[in-house]
Amino acid sequence: MSDKDPSLRRNAPKLALHVPEPPFRPGDAPDFSSLKIPAAGSAPRPDIAAPAAETHPLTTQLVRVLGDDSKAVGAWDPKLDPETLRKMLRDMITVRIFDDRMYRAQRQGKTSFYMKCTGEEAIAIAAQTALDREDMHFPTYRQQGLLVARGYPLTEMMNQIYSNRGDKLRGRQLPIMYSDKKFGFFSISGNLGTQFPQAVGWAMGAAIKGDSRIAMGWIGDGATAEGDFHSALTFAAVYNVPVVLAVVNNQWAISSFSGIAGAERATFAQRAVGYGIAGLRVDGNDALAVYAATKWASERARSNQGPTLIEFFTYRAEGHSTSDDPSGYRPTNEAKSWPLGDPIERLKAHLIAIGEWDDERHAAANAEADATVRAAQKESEKLGILPEQGKNGVETMFDDVYAEVPWHIAEQREQALSEGRD
Amino acid sequence: MNMIQALNDAHKVVMRADEDVVVFGEDAGYFGGVFRVTEGLQKEFGKQRAFDAPISEGGIVATAVGMAAYGIKPLIEIQFADYIYPGYDQIVSEVAKMRYRTAGEWAMPMVIRTPYGGGIFGGQTHSQSPESLFTHIAGLKVVVPSTPYDAKGLLIAAVEDPDPVIFFEPKRIYNGPFDGHHDRPVKPWSKHPASEVPEGYYTVPLGKASIVREGDAVTVLAYGTMVHVALAAVEEQGLDAEVIDLRTLVPLDIKTIEKSVEKTGRCLIAQEAPRTSGFAAELSALVQERCFYHLEAPVERVTGWDTPYPHAYEWAYFPGPKRLKRALEKVMAD
Ligand SMILES: Cc1ncc(C[n+]2csc(CCOP(=O)(O)OP(=O)(O)O)c2C)c(N)n1
Q: Write down the pLDDT at residue B184.
A: 83
Q: Given an 8 Å threshold on Cβ–Cβ distance, is A194 in contact with B69?
A: no
Q: Are strands B111-116 and B73-77 parallel, antiparallel or unpaired?
A: parallel
Give residue-wise pLDDT tens across range A214-271: 999 999 999 999 999 999 999 999 999 999 999 999 999 999 999 999 999 999 999 9
Closest CA–CA distance from residue A349 to any residue of chain B (Å) = 40
Q: Is B94 on the interface with A (CB under 8 A)?
A: yes
pLDDT confidence tier of residue A387, bands split at 50, 70 and 90: confident
Q: Residue of the nearest CA to atom 12 in ligand 1?
A: A253
Residue of A nearest to B106 (CA): A181
Classified as helix, coil or strand, B178 is: coil
Would you list the DSSP string of A219-240?
EETGGGGSHHHHHHHHHHHHTT
Tens digit of each residue's pLDDT (9 = 90 or more) over B144-198: 999 999 999 999 999 999 999 999 999 999 999 998 887 888 789 998 988 899 9
**Range name among A127-136, A363-372, B108-117, B191-200 with the lowest pLDDT average:** B191-200
Q: Which residue of B has its CA nearest to A178?
A: B102
Write the pLDDT tens digit of every residue in A188-209: 999 999 999 999 999 999 999 9
Distance (Å, rounded) from C-alpha A288 to C-alpha A347? 8
Q: Touching check for B277 and chain A: CB below 8 Å?
A: no
Query: Contact, B292 vs B265, CB < 8 A?
Result: no
Of B48, B100, B102, the CB nearest to A401: B100
What value of ipTM does the predicted structure carry? Answer: 0.90
Q: Is the pLDDT of residue A393 over 90?
A: no
Out of B72, B86, B162, the one facing A208 most closely (by C-beta) is B72
Per-residue model confidence as pLDDT tens digits over B85-137: 999 999 999 999 999 999 999 999 999 999 999 988 898 899 999 999 999 99
Whether the per-residue pLDDT at A422 is higher than 60: the answer is: no
| Beta strands across the sheet bearing B73-77 | B50-52, B21-25, B73-77, B111-116, B165-170, B141-143, B248-250
Distance (Å) from the alpha carbon of A206 to chain B's nearest alpha carbon: 7
- The answer on pLDDT for B67 being more than 70 is yes
Higher pLDDT residue, B222 or A5?
A: B222
A136-138 β-sheet, strand order: A136-138, A215-220, A243-249, A308-313, A278-283
For residue A6, what pLDDT is reported? 60
Query: What are the chain A neighbours of B141 within 8 Å (beta carbons)?
Result: 402
Read off the pLDDT of residues A279-298 as tens digits, 9 standing for 90 and up.
999 999 999 999 999 999 99
Looking at the DSSP assignment, which residues form a beta bridge with residue A220? A248
Q: How many CB atoms lie within 10 A of CB B129?
A: 27
C-alpha span between B301 and A361 (Å, rounded): 77
**Ligand 1 centroid from CA B328, angstroms:** 52
Give the chain B residue nearest A201 (alpha carbons). B63
Q: Which of residues 13-52 of B touch A (CB under 8 A)?
A: 22, 48-49
Q: Please give the pLDDT value at position A7.
A: 63
Contact B62 A228 (CB under 8 A): yes
Query: DSSP characters for A31-63?
Result: --TTS--PPTT-S----TTS-GGGGGGGGTS-B
Handedness of CA A276, A282, A284, A290 (dihedral sign): negative
Cβ–Cβ below 8 Å for B67 and A187? no
pLDDT-derived band at A2, boundaries 50, 70, 90: low
Q: Provide the shortest C-alpha distance from residue A239 to chain B (in Å).
A: 9
Residues at CB less than 6 angstroms from ligand 1: A 142, 190-192, 220-223, 248, 250, 252-254, 316, 320
* Nearest-by-CA chain A residue for B253: A407
Q: How far is the CA of A354 from the centre of ligand 1 (A)?
A: 39
**Could you tell which of A120, A123, A194, A254 is best to mutate to test the pocket of ligand 1, judged by most ligand atoms within 8 Å of the CB?**
A254
User: Between the CA of residue A342 and those of A106, A126, A167, B214, what are the distances in Å?
Assistant: 25, 14, 33, 76
Atom in ligand 1 nearest the alpha carbon of residue A117: 21
Contact with chain A for residue B86, Cβ under 8 A: yes
CB contact under 8 A, B139 and A401: yes
* pLDDT higher than threshold 80 for residue A172: yes
Which residues in A lie closer than 8 A to residue B102 (C-beta atoms)? 169, 179, 181, 187
Torsion angle defined by CA atoms of residues A261, A263, A265 and A270, in that order, rounded to the nearest 10 degrees = 110
Tell me the C-alpha distance between B305 and B320, whole Å. Answer: 12
Q: Which of A194, A213, A383 is nearest to A302 (CA)?
A: A213
Angle at A60 between CA A57 and CA A65, to 5 degrees: 90
Identify all chain A residues contacting B100, using CB atoms and an 8 Å cutoff: 172, 400-401
Domains for chain A: give ranges and CATH numbers: 29-389 (3.40.50.970), 391-422 (no CATH)
Record the pTM. 0.94
So what's the pLDDT on residue B180?
Answer: 86
Closest CB to A201: pick one of B63, B99, B161.
B63
C-alpha pair distances (Å), B90 with each of A46, B141, B284: 36, 15, 30
Cα separation of A81 and A21, whole Å? Answer: 43
Do B63 and A190 lie within an 8 Å CB cutoff? no
Quick one: which atom of ligand 1 is closest to the CA of A115? 19
Which are the catalytic amino acids of B? 126
Tens of pLDDT, residues A66-108 = 999 999 999 999 999 999 999 999 999 999 999 999 999 999 9
Coil vs helix vs strand at A182: coil
| pLDDT tops 60 at residue A61 | yes
Closest Cβ opposite residue A205 in set B53, B71, B98 = B71
